[in-house]
Structure 1
Amino acid sequence: MRFATFRHDGERHSGVVSGDALHPLSADPLTLLRAGELYTDGWNSLDGPAGPSLAEVELLAPLQPPTVRDFVAFEEHVEGVRKSVDGTSGVPDAWYAAPAFYFTNPYAVTGPGADIAVPPGCHVLDFELEVAAVIGATGGDLTPEQARTHIVGYTILNDWSARDLQSAEMKVSLGPAKGKDFATTLGPWLVTADELEPYRDGDGFLRLGMTVAVNGEEIGRDLLSNMGWPFEELVAYASRGTQVRPGDVLGSGTCGNGGCLAELWGVRGRQDPPPLRPGDTVTMTVEGIGTISNTIVEGADPVPLPPARRRPRDRPSAA
């Protein structure tokens, strides 16, 4: 099944996609996931009358995730973007040891056709082509085998990146902050895991074709199966010492071979193609899932803040 969230006649709804029609759900996908009723409600909705057609609605992000973890699971991406962002060649040994991730902003999730505003102060805007797994059941310290049953489905993820802000922030030896938290696009819908099982290869990876184009010109093309770890291992790692819960989103990280502009800049030694500008449209397609397309628009100017004050290093007196 494919679960979508959409706006129709000014109101927000959710439904199951069947052909060009939407069959209304009783609640949004996150509520149904938490209640353990997403599949049941989905089948019930298909037995009822169809609602509006896809052509009549504005698709929104399929769900509003409580958390978004974004991994970096493609070796080729690490090699290229590392050269672009911090001028360092190669792939660090630590990348091979464990699947690294960071938490990004769940409040900045956007829909598959939404306009994306340039973040304040950004002059080097980039896209990142990814696939995300969505968690359907709570679990902690999972094995990869157990983790597979906790993945309810998949969606496309565009991890928009302000490369100039990111590069400056990461000199403080922390992960990206304002370089990343302004927009994360999910869509066009949530495709249940069973629909993608026919794409699984002999090593357990999902062999899905992935492409990205800017203004109709293809920039990148890769296979999801080029990940260093399959999603089950990413979920198992994410659950280590904690829990994954219904609605959590786990991104694959950016694919290689042009999955983002920064990778190409690192390989070519110049900003070719150029950073995204207002008016550019970024279109991503993933086999078995669908297509999302977002247009860049002007953003706000940054609210100015002063630099850190040099303060005396006073200490409290001993008691």
Structure 2
Amino acid sequence: MRIASLRQGAAVISEAGAHLLPMPVGDLVTLGLDRALEVGATALASEPVPYAEEDLLLPYRPASVRDFVTFESHVEGVRRSVDNASGVPAAWYDAPTFYFTNPHALYGPGAPIPRPASSRALDFELEVGVVLGAGGTSLTEREAGAAIFGYTIVNDWSARDLQSREMQVGLGPAKGKDFATSLGPWIVTADELPSLDLDCRVSVNGSLVGQDRLSHMNWTFAQMIAYASRDSVVVAGDLLASGTTGGGGCLAELWGRSGQQTPPPLEPGDVVTMEVEGIGSLTASVAVG
């Protein structure tokens, strides 16, 4: 099922239209996948209401957002442009590393993204996020896999000039990342995606910039969830992002490989569109003014 938040209300999306749900998407997620599918099936039996792309809102508000870095080619390219380093750190191969990003600066489909006032190196990051429908502590990989509710597209907007400066302190990204993350266009439930060998691509102003396959992740989502829960806790509603795909999943990777900012950083008015096979398309523009 495709579960969305619309101006008309939470809904299951079908070819016929939007079938309204009796509760917000966040509440549906916390029911767990099996129960949510039952509720969704009842909604699908109801008369659909029309909707337009402009009606799509932020799918839901996650309890927390962890962003991983699981594509080796992305790490190698971005280190050159952001950290002025080469190669992939040996520690990267030890575990699926992540950082926490700002759950209060989330944007839905089509929402304009403000560029940080002091940044002139705005970038996108093409990612897929996994939504948890259950939680726990020190989960096994099997338990972690069973906790998956569904998937959505994630754009981890990045101010590379700010990030490059603050990474010198050694605590990871902060102001270079916490100003905006886009999610959407909806959540596709896990039963709809038995295989995650999905084509992922991103374009700017209609021109293809990057393309990769989600199966090129170095770790599975189950491994990521299990690692996040180790000696800690994950809960239903948490969002864990794959990290940026390779093959030009962000501009900084391309900058690192070429040694120059080509293609150029994003400017006000630029439109970024991300497409992931089996999930959908997420578009946002850089705000003007």
Q: How would you bin the TM-score normalised by the shorter chain?
A: over 0.9
For residue 181 of structure 2, what is the aligned residue in structure 1? 184
1:298 is paired with a residue whose SS is coil
User: Where does residue 26 of structure 1 map in the other structure?
Assistant: 22
Matches within 5 A, 1:17-56: 17-36=13-32, 37-55=35-53
Residues 43-122 of structure 1 aligned to structure 2 (within 5 Å): 43-55=41-53, 57-122=54-119
Partner of 1:129: 126
Q: Does 1:216 align with 2:206?
A: yes
The alpha-carbon deviation at position 298 of structure 1 amounts to 3.5
SS at match of 2:117: coil
Contact 1:29 1:38 (C-alpha < 8 Å) held by counterparts: no
Task: Assess if the C-alpha contact under 8 Å between 1:15 and 1:24 holds in 2.
Answer: yes
Amino acid at match of 1:137: A
1:282 and 2:272 aligned: yes
How many Å separate the matches in 2 of 1:212 and 1:225? 16
Distance 1:20 1:121, change over 3 A: farther
Deviation at 1:43, TM superposition (A): 1.3
Q: Which amino acid aligns with 1:4?
A: A
1:74-106 deviations in whole A, cap 9, x for unaligned?
A: 000000000000110000000000110000001
Report sequence identity in percent.
Answer: 56
Question: Aligned-pair RMSD on alpha carbons?
Answer: 1.2
Gaps (5+ residues) in structure 1?
201-205, 300-319
State the partner residue of 1:5: 5
Which of 266, 278, 291 is 2:281 aligned to? 291
Contact between 1:20 and 1:54, CA under 8 Å: does it hold in 2? no
Please tell me whether residue 251 in structure 1 is matched to residue 241 in structure 2: yes
Which secondary structure does the structure 2 equivalent of 1:60 belong to?
coil
TM-score normalised according to structure 1 size: 0.88
Map Cα deviations across residues 193-246 of structure 1 (whole Å, 9 max, x no partner): 11110xx2xxxxx20000000000000000000000011100110111112111
The aligned residue for residue 234 of structure 1 is 224
- Answer yes or no: is the 8 Å Cα contact 1:74–1:227 preserved in 2: yes
Match of 1:178, as an amino acid?
K
CA distance in 1, matches of 2:87, 2:229: 29
Query: Deviations 1:153-211 (Å, cap 9, x if unpaired)?
Result: 000000000001111111111111111111111111100011110xx2xxxxx200000
Q: Tell me by how many angstroms 1:112 deviates.
A: 1.5
What is the deviation of 1:7?
Answer: 1.6
Counterpart contact for 2:77–2:256, Cα < 8 Å:
yes
Alignment partners' CA distance in 2, 1:98 and 1:165:
26
Q: Residues 59 and 112 of structure 1 are in contact (CA less than 8 Å); yes or no, is this contact kept in structure 2?
A: yes
2:16–2:48 contact (8 Å) kept in structure 1: no
Q: In the alignment, which residue of structure 2 is the partner of 1:267?
A: 257
Q: CA deviation at 1:20?
A: 4.8
Which runs of at least 4 in structure 1 moved beyond 4 Å after TM superposition? none
Q: Whole-Å Cα distance in 1 between the matches of residues 36 and 21 of structure 2?
A: 9
SS at match of 2:139: coil
Q: Secondary structure at the match of 1:210?
A: strand
- 1:84 and 1:18 map into 2 onto residues whose CA distance is 43
Kept in 1: contact 2:113–2:284 (CA 8 A):
yes
2:7 alignment partner, SS class: strand
- Number of residue equivalences: 287
SS at match of 1:106: coil
- Aligned AA for 2:24? D
Which residue is equivalent to 2:156?
159
Q: Aligned equivalents of 2:29 and 2:200: distance in 1?
A: 27
Q: 1 CA distance for matches of 2:26 and 2:280?
A: 21
Is residue 31–residue 133 contact of structure 2 (8 Å, CA) maintained in 1? Answer: no
Question: 3-state DSSP class of the match of 1:94?
Answer: helix
